[in-house]
Amino acid sequence: MSELEQVDRDYVLGSYARNYTNFVRGEGAKLYDDTGREFIDFGSGIGVCSIGHAHPKLSEALCDQASKLIHVSNLQVIEPQARLAERIVKLSGYDMRCFFGNSGAEANEAALKIARKYGETAFDTKRYKVITLKHSFHGRTITTVKATGQKEMHKPDFSPYPAGFAYVESIDAIYDAIDDETVAVMIELVQGEGGVQPFDKGEVQDLAKFLRSRDLLLIVDEVQTGVYRTGEFLASQLYEIEPDIITLAKGLGGGVPIGVAMTRLKEIFKPGDHGSTFGGNYLSTRAGLTVLEVLKAEQDRGALAERIEIFSSYLKGLAERLPEYFTEAVGLGLMRGLRCVDAEIQGAILKAAFDEGLIVLKAGRNTVRFLPPLTITRDEIDEGFKRFEKALATL
C-alpha cells in the first residue's frame, strides 16, 4: 500500500470504492499519474471536465479571478453570476431566471423547493408530491436520494426520508400516478447513472403538453445531459420541449463546483426563501462563463457534431461486431454507453480498459459509459478506442 493510500484510508471516510492511481496532471483528454503513465480520459471526472483538463482559457480565467476576488457572499450583486445567468437563459432560449448552488443535488433541491412552493401557492388545495422514474438518479442528500427512484438507494440506515415522492417504471405510467396532491414530474431526458437511456422524444413531448394542460410542473434534471453533452446546450432543446424547471451542474464549471436551477416561475422566490453561502460565487461563475464561451464556439464551428459522429460510429461498430460482449450502443451526443451482456463482462471491461490506460465509467443496466471531454480531439478518440480494443482482446 502506498503512503498516500494509507493516509487516505486513515483519514477519509470510506464512502467510495476507490482506485488509488494518483493523477497529478492532465491535458485535454489525457491524464498522467505520479509515475508519468498516460491515460485517455473517456470519463471527464463523471461528465464534469467538459472542456478537458488544464484548458488554457479556463486556467487563465481562474488564475485571473483568484487574483482579484473569489467570494463576497450573495448579499452583494456578483457580476459574473448575473452575466452567467443571462448567458444560460439566452443560450436556452427559454424565458427563465436562475438560482445558483454548488452541485447537482443542490440544484435539484432548489428545483424541489420551487415545486413545493408552487404547489403550496398556486392551487386551492396543497400539492406537494413529485413523481420520478425507477431508474433515475437525482442526488445524494436525504431529499434527492429519496427523489431518486432506485429503491436500493433508500437505505434504511438513513431513514426517515421526506415524504412526497412516487416512482413509476416508465413515462407512460406517469399519467396514472398523478393524484390531487401531485405538483410535478421530475425526469432526466437521458438517464445517466440509470444506464445512459434516452427517452422517446414524442413521449416526452406528450408528457410536457399534458402537464402544462393541468398546470403541473415538468422538472428536467439536466445535471448530466446539460451544457452541450447531447450536442445541444440543453437536452430539452434537442427534445423541443419547454420545461418549467431545469437543473444543471456537472459540466458547467469545467471542474469548479457549480449547480443551477432555472425556472420560468420567475417570481417564485422572495428574499429568504432559499440561499447558499457559496452558490454562484466569483470563481465558479467565472468558470461557467469561460466553459460556455469555449463550448459555444466548438458547437458553432461544427467540431462538436463531428466528434459526436466519430464517437458514435466507433460504438455502433463495436456493438455490431461483438455481440458476445455487447447487446447495444445507447445514448446521445457525447453521453454514450455500451450495454454489456451481463455485470461480469461489464466489470471485466472496466478493469481491462483501465489496465490499458483508458478511463471509462460504469452505469446501471450493465452499461459501460462514455462521457469524454466535449473538446476531445480526433487523435485522442482514435487512441482511446485503440486501447479499448486492446482491453477487449485480453478478456
Ligand X SMILES: *Cc1c(COP(=O)(O)O)cnc(C)c1O
Distance CA 341, CA 324 (A): 7
Binding status of residue 195 toward ligand X by CB under 6 A: no
To ligand X, the closest distance from the beta carbon of 84 in angstroms equals 17
Site size with ligand X, rule: CB under 6 A: 15
Which of 41, 188 has the CB closer to ligand X?
Answer: 188
Residue 103 near residue 257 (C-beta atoms within 8 A): yes
To ligand X, the closest distance from the beta carbon of 76 in angstroms equals 25
Which of 250, 362 has the CB closer to ligand X?
Answer: 250
Which of 174, 345 has the CB closer to ligand X?
Answer: 174
Cα 23 to Cα 39, 144, 180, 356, distances in angstroms = 9, 30, 52, 16
Stretch binding ligand X (CB under 6 A), from 104-112, 173-181, 267-275, 312-320? 104-112
Which residue in 224, 230, 284, 290 binds ligand X (CB under 6 A)?
A: 224
- CB nearest ligand X: which residue? 104
Q: Which of 297, 307, 295 is nearest to 379 (CA)?
A: 307
Decide the pairing of beta strands 38-41 and 30-33. antiparallel
Binding status of residue 104 toward ligand X by CB under 6 A: yes
Which of 41, 109 has the CB closer to ligand X?
Answer: 109
The three-state secondary structure class of 4 is: helix
Kindly report the number of other CB atoms within 10 A of residue 33's CB atom: 14
To ligand X, the closest distance from the beta carbon of 373 in angstroms equals 17
To ligand X, the closest distance from the beta carbon of 63 in angstroms equals 24
Task: Work out the angle at residue 332's Cα, subtended by the Cα atoms of residues 328 and 337, and round it to the nearest 5 degrees.
Answer: 40
Which residue in 109, 221, 298, 380 binds ligand X (CB under 6 A)?
A: 221
Q: Which DSSP state fits 198?
A: E
Binding status of residue 48 toward ligand X by CB under 6 A: no
To ligand X, the closest distance from the beta carbon of 46 in angstroms equals 7
Look up cell 477487449; give the residue.
392
Helix (H) or strand (E) holding 40: strand 38-41
Binding status of residue 242 toward ligand X by CB under 6 A: no
List all residues 6 or more positions away from 288 whose beta carbon is below 8 Å from its beta carbon: 80, 84, 87, 88, 252, 253, 256, 258
Helix (H) or strand (E) holding 287: helix 282-300
Residue 362 near residue 350 (C-beta atoms within 8 A): yes
Q: Which of residues 134-193 bind ligand X (CB under 6 A)?
A: 137-139, 188, 192-193
First CA to last CA distance, the chain: 27
Cα 165 to Cα 143, 147, 177, distances in angstroms = 9, 6, 11
Binding status of residue 50 toward ligand X by CB under 6 A: no
Binding status of residue 249 toward ligand X by CB under 6 A: yes
To ligand X, the closest distance from the beta carbon of 244 in angstroms equals 17
Kindly report whether the peptide bond that precedes residue 160 is cis, defined as omega within 30 degrees of 0: yes
Which of 226, 357 has the CB closer to ligand X?
Answer: 226
To ligand X, the closest distance from the beta carbon of 375 in angstroms equals 20
Stretch binding ligand X (CB under 6 A), from 99-107, 149-157, 310-318, 351-359? 99-107
The three-state secondary structure class of 169 is: coil
To ligand X, the closest distance from the beta carbon of 12 in angstroms equals 17
Which of 65, 103 has the CB closer to ligand X?
Answer: 103
Binding status of residue 109 toward ligand X by CB under 6 A: no
Contacts with ligand X by CB under 6 A lie at: 103-105, 108, 137-139, 188, 192-193, 221, 223-224, 249-250
